[in-house]
Structure 1
């Protein structure tokens, strides 16, 4: 899914493994990406889980975020409900790719994929409340805050709220037609 911005969503290749593992092993951003206790997997264990997920995708869809031929992150829709037509979206970027609009462009492309190609009616995500930059970026993409789970996450020594955000296909279409 190429665009004029240079950001492309594409399938993973073996050449992407170093960049993707660097994200998975980044303890500084663990809580932004994972709901559980920080535990950096070994490279071998991480690759094994990755290959298992790809072999049995269970309807989940994921892409590498590419900028000028270099993997800078990943994005995907998971926990897709085929009856209600909704799924949860997740995104992770390498530190060098953050704050440059790459995530915003990747999210726009992923939403188009989710609503047009995957025929989803609704997409949602969860973010820790202190991640104000991510919340702003998600709002920019059209997500609205739908609720909050109070003190639901243990983040760097204290409890934080989890903010749940979502976007409906009808809202996404209205934004596109403006």
Structure 2
């Protein structure tokens, strides 16, 4: 059982420990963040949740013992009714135990709890086959590929676009 708790400054050290390299940071947060991840960068993410309506919601995932299992964010485009799942990470010490599916189920449920949201989407690097498999399991469909969209060192990464619509999500909940 996973529960989402609001991401607070006291969680910052836990999250930054999970991001051990520039590659980890880009995989988690995209190419616009700088390594090492700073408190200032994290504070800016939290601040986006204080607007009305919120532009971004950030959570830590915990189990019944309050052990941190992961982190996830939801960027909200209220004008177009789109939520974007972003910055998903499972704590390194608990990976491979099914927590990613539970975390994603919880965040998609949260996204569609807002009547204004009709679509939930995400970006994932195409080489991250474990994540792609998990997103498919939760109901996301592959919608496209942005080839060579990110540079990390000497590598170029393709970004897959995946999405799920409200009727698709609701049909899975029956």
The TM-score with structure 2 as length reference comes to 0.84
Partner of 1:122: 119
Partner of 1:22: 17
Partner of 1:11: 6
Asked if 2 retains the 8 angstrom alpha-carbon contact of 1:20 and 1:71, the reply is no
Unaligned runs of at least 5 residues, structure 2: none
Partner of 2:26: 31
Asked if 2 retains the 8 angstrom alpha-carbon contact of 1:66 and 1:72, the reply is yes
Among 74, 83, 86, the alignment partner of 2:82 is: 86
Asked if 1 retains the 8 angstrom alpha-carbon contact of 2:122 and 2:163, the reply is yes
- The CA distance in 1 between the partners of 2:27 and 2:13, in whole Å, is 20
Among 103, 107, 110, the alignment partner of 1:110 is: 107
Residues 134, 120 of structure 1: CA spacing in aligned structure 2 closer, same or farther, 3 A cutoff? same
- The CA distance in 1 between the partners of 2:142 and 2:42, in whole Å, is 34
Unaligned runs of at least 5 residues, structure 1: none
- The CA distance in 2 between the partners of 1:42 and 1:164, in whole Å, is 25
1:161 Cα offset (Å): 1.4
Asked if 1 retains the 8 angstrom alpha-carbon contact of 2:78 and 2:116, the reply is no
- The CA distance in 2 between the partners of 1:170 and 1:56, in whole Å, is 28
Among 147, 151, 159, the alignment partner of 2:148 is: 151
Aligned residues: 171
